[in-house]
Structure 1
C-alpha cells in the first residue's frame, strides 16, 4: 500500500493533534478491554450474591466478548458506511448506559442482558476507533501508534483484574460496571470535539450476515461450556458445535450472495490478512485464559483476597505493556514474522513454566512473560493486517481484526473453563495445571504456524 494512498484519506491535522486524538481513542478502547477482565476478580462474589451456576458464571465473561466480537464486523462496516465519527460516539453512548444498568442487576438474567448490550456498544466503538487510527497515521508513525494501541489493550486486561479486585473488595462488585459511567461521559465530550469528519464510501449493512456469524459463535461457545460438565463427546457438546459449523457455512454463503457483505471474502485470501487474524485470535485466547486461571488460582488455591489478587497481576500488566512497546519498534526493523513468532514462542515457554511449578513466584513470572510475548503478537497481528488493507476499507479491516480478538477471548475463557471445571467446582486444584498445559500446547503449535505463514519485513510480495 502506497503512502500516497493513505495520505489522501487522512484528515489534515497537526502531529500533536493526532496523538491527542489517539490518547482519547485508546482510552476508550482501554475501557472496553478492561470490561473483558474487570469482572474476573468479582466472579466469586457475584456467584455468591446472585447464585450463579458455573455455566452462568462463564457466560458473564463470554456473553460480552461474544456480542462484542459477533457484531464487530457490523460495527466496522457501519464506520465505512456512515462515517467513523458517528459510529464511535453512538457506540460509546450505548456502552456507557449499559454499564450503569449492569451495576444495578439483581438477578442473572438482568446481568447477562446488560453485558450483552455493553458488547453491542463496544462492537460499534472499537472498530470505528481503530479505523480512525489506521487512517490518520502513516508509515513508521502508524507502527508506533499500533504499538501504543496494543500496549493499552494488553495492559487493559491486567488493569481490569486490578481494578476489579479493588472495587470488589471496596465498594462492591456493582462498581466494576458503574466506574465506566463517568469515564464514558468525559470521553464522549472530548471525542465529540476532536474527532474529524472522514469521507465514507457508503453502502448498506448486512444484518442477516451479522446475525449468522453471532449465532454460530454463540453455538460454539455453548458447546465449549457444556463440555466441562457433560464431556467432549456428549450430545450437549457436539450438537452446538455442529450447529456452529453450519452457521459459519451459512455466513460464508451470505457474504458471497449479499450486495453489501459485511466483509469481502477475498480479503481473507490475502495471507498477511488471514495470518494476522489467526494470530490475534490465538494471542487473545491465551491472554484471557491466563487471567481466568490466575484469578481462581490466587483466590482458591492461595487464599488471596480480590484486592491482593489484583495487585499480584501488576507484573503481568507491565509485561504486556513492555511487549507491545517492543513490538511497535521491532516490527519495523525485524518484520512481522519474527516479532509474531517470537512472541508466541515466549508465551509457550512461559505457559509450560506455569504448568510445572508449585511456586507462586514462578507462576507470576510465567504469567508475566506470557503477557510480554502476547504483547509482541498483538502488534504483529495488527501490522500484518493493515499492511494489506486499503485505507477506504479500514473500518471493515479493523472490524474483522477486532472480531477475531473478541472471538479469541470468548473461546479462550470457555475452553479453559471446561478443562478446569473440577477446579472451579472446588474438587481438584490440579486441574488448573492442566489449563496451563493446554495453553502451552496451543502456543507451541501456533508458533510453528506463525513462522510459516506471517509475512516478513513487508507484505508487498505476498
Structure 2
C-alpha cells in the first residue's frame, strides 16, 4: 500500500483500504472462475465421457447465472447492506465450489456452476458499492484502480491457473482451490468491511421479474447463438429479451414505488458514457484471448499452459501499473488517462494482429501483449471512477449493478461475436475447414496444424483480433466525451480564486 493510499480516511478516522482488500479476495475468485474452466475442457470431456457441447455448458451456465441477476443483487445491497449481501453470496459461492469438485456427472456440475454464478452475482455489485460509499469522491480513483486491476488480472489469470491445476493435480482442484480462499475471504470481510446504512424501501417485484426474464433471454440468445447456428429460436430469444428489457425500462419510468433501477442515474453524463465504455472493454477483454489462444496452440503447437503464459506480460503490467494510474485518475481529467488507455488498447490489438504470423518469434508477440497490459491498467480506474463519482449514496448498489451488468453483457457479446468471426475467417481462408468442422475452438484441437494450413489459419485468427479493436473505437469516443468531474471543477475554482 502506498503512502498516498494510507492517507485516505473515512469520516470516523479509519482507513477504508482494509475493507477493500478484504472484498477483492472474493472478487478475484469469482472472476477467475469465469475463465478457468476453458483450459479444463478436454479433461472434463474425458472425466465425464461426454462431448464438447455438454462441457461448454459448464462455463455457459456460470456466466448466465452470473449476468442475469446483477441488476437485482445490486439493489439488494442498498436494501440489506452490501456487507450482508456480499457475505451471503460468498457463502453460496464457496459451498457451490466444493459441490463442483465433488460432483460425478456433467449435469450435476452444470447445476453446481449455476449456484456458483448466483453467488458471484450477489458479491460483485457490493465491492463497487462499498468503494463508492467509503472513499471520498476525489480519492476514489486509487480504489477503483485496484478494483479494475483485479477484474483485468483475474480474467487473464484464469487460463494460466487452470492450466497449472489441471495439468498438475486434476480438474477438481480448479474448484477446490476456492474453498480455503473463500473461508479466508469470509473472515476478512466479516471483520474488516463496515456495516453501512441501508435504505428500507419496497421491492419492485414487477421490475425484478421483467429484468430477470429480459436479461435471461437476451444473454442466453447471444451466448448460445453460435452453438445453434443463429437459428430462428435464437433470434426469437434475442428479440424477446430486447422487448422485455424495453418493457422493463418503461416500467421503471412509470412505477410510483421504488424502482429497481432509478432512470435518473442516466442523467449523469459520465455514468451513461462510462457504461458505454465498459461494455466495449468487457467485449474486448473477453474476445481478445480466444483467437490468440487458438493461434498459439493450433499454429504454433504450444501446450495450453504455454499458450496461456503468453498473456503473462498483460496480467503483470495491468496489475503492477494500476496503483500509479489510480493516483493519476484522482488528479487528472479521466478522459486523459482513460483516453490513452483506450487508444493504446486499440493500437495493441492491431499490432498483435499484424504480428500473428506462422513463424513470428515469441518476443515479437510479447511486445504488443505488453502494450495491452499497459492499456488495461489505464482503462479500468478512469471508467469505473467516472461511473460512480456522482452517484447518490443510497443508489450506489443500484448503480454498481447497472455498471457490472453492462460489463458482463459486453463480455457475452465479445464471446459470441469473436466466435462468429473466427468461424467465418476459417471458412474463408483455411482449405478444408469451411464445412462440417464444428466450432473454431475445435478446428485445431488436435494440436499443431499441417504446414500447408498454418499460414491461412494464422491469418484467420489475426483478422479476428481486429474485431475487438474496432469495437473499442466506440469506447474511445465515449471516454473522449467525459465531462470534467466535480472535484476537479472545485479544485480549478479554488486555484482561480
Aligned to 1:329: 327
TM-score, normalising length from structure 2? 0.83
Tell me if 1:235 matches 2:232: yes
Flag the 1:13–1:97 CA change in 2: closer, same or farther, 3 A: farther
Q: Is the 8 A contact 2:414 2:468 kept in 1?
A: no
Tell me if 1:454 matches 2:471: no
- Following superposition, the deviation at residue 218 of structure 1 comes to 3.3
Of 191-200 and 85-94, the range deviating more from structure 2: 191-200
- Following superposition, the deviation at residue 225 of structure 1 comes to 4.5
Secondary structure of the corresponding residue to residue 228 of structure 1:
coil
- Following superposition, the deviation at residue 414 of structure 1 comes to 2.2
- Following superposition, the deviation at residue 136 of structure 1 comes to 1.6
Aligned to 1:375: 377
Tell me if 1:415 matches 2:417: yes
**CA distance in 1: counterparts of 2:58 and 2:144, whole angstroms:** 29
Aligned to 2:390: 388
- Aligned pairs for 1:174-253 (under 5 A) are 174-225=172-223, 227-228=225-226, 234-253=231-250
Of 94-103 and 255-264, the range deviating more from structure 2: 255-264
- Aligned pairs for 1:274-313 (under 5 A) are 274-313=272-311
Q: Is the 8 A contact 1:333 1:457 kept in 2?
A: no
Q: Is the 8 A contact 2:101 2:175 kept in 1?
A: yes
- Following superposition, the deviation at residue 277 of structure 1 comes to 1.3
Aligned to 2:157: 159
How many residues in Structure 1 have an aligned counterpart in Structure 2? 449
2:403 to 395, 401, 404: 401
Flag the 1:409–1:44 CA change in 2: closer, same or farther, 3 A: farther
- Aligned pairs for 1:117-136 (under 5 A) are 117-136=115-134
Flag the 1:300–1:215 CA change in 2: closer, same or farther, 3 A: farther
Flag the 1:410–1:214 CA change in 2: closer, same or farther, 3 A: farther
TM-score, normalising length from structure 1? 0.89
Name the structure, 1 or 2, with higher relative contact order (CA <8 Å, separation 6+).
Answer: 1
- Aligned pairs for 1:101-112 (under 5 A) are 101-112=99-110
**CA distance in 2: counterparts of 1:413 and 1:81, whole angstroms:** 33
Of 26-35 and 366-375, the range deviating more from structure 2: 366-375
| 1:231-280 superposed Cα distances (whole Å, 9 cap, x missing partner) | 56x42443222122112112213323442222101212321111111111
Flag the 1:319–1:131 CA change in 2: closer, same or farther, 3 A: same
**CA distance in 1: counterparts of 2:421 and 2:209, whole angstroms:** 29
Secondary structure of the corresponding residue to residue 259 of structure 2:
coil
Largest Rg, 1 or 2:
2
Aligned to 1:270: 268
Q: Is the 8 A contact 1:84 1:131 kept in 2?
A: yes
RMSD, matched Cα: 2.6
Tell me if 1:424 matches 2:441: yes
Flag the 1:229–1:70 CA change in 2: closer, same or farther, 3 A: closer
- Following superposition, the deviation at residue 89 of structure 1 comes to 0.9
**CA distance in 2: counterparts of 1:51 and 1:384, whole angstroms:** 48
2:462 to 419, 426, 433: 433
Unaligned runs of 5+ in 1: 1-8
**CA distance in 2: counterparts of 1:241 and 1:223, whole angstroms:** 5
| 1:377-421 superposed Cα distances (whole Å, 9 cap, x missing partner) | 211111111122012221112222222222222222222123224
| 1:4-55 superposed Cα distances (whole Å, 9 cap, x missing partner) | xxxxx9663523xx22222111111111221122223223333444466565
**CA distance in 2: counterparts of 1:87 and 1:159, whole angstroms:** 26
Secondary structure of the corresponding residue to residue 37 of structure 2:
coil
| 1:289-322 superposed Cα distances (whole Å, 9 cap, x missing partner) | 2233333333333232233233332112013224
Q: Is the 8 A contact 2:210 2:248 kept in 1?
A: yes
Q: Is the 8 A contact 2:386 2:485 kept in 1?
A: no
**CA distance in 1: counterparts of 2:343 and 2:19, whole angstroms:** 34
- Following superposition, the deviation at residue 447 of structure 1 comes to 1.6
| 1:96-132 superposed Cα distances (whole Å, 9 cap, x missing partner) | 1111112234343322222221111111112122212
**CA distance in 2: counterparts of 1:383 and 1:214, whole angstroms:** 27
Secondary structure of the corresponding residue to residue 38 of structure 2:
coil
Unaligned runs of 5+ in 2: 1-8, 424-438, 445-456, 490-497
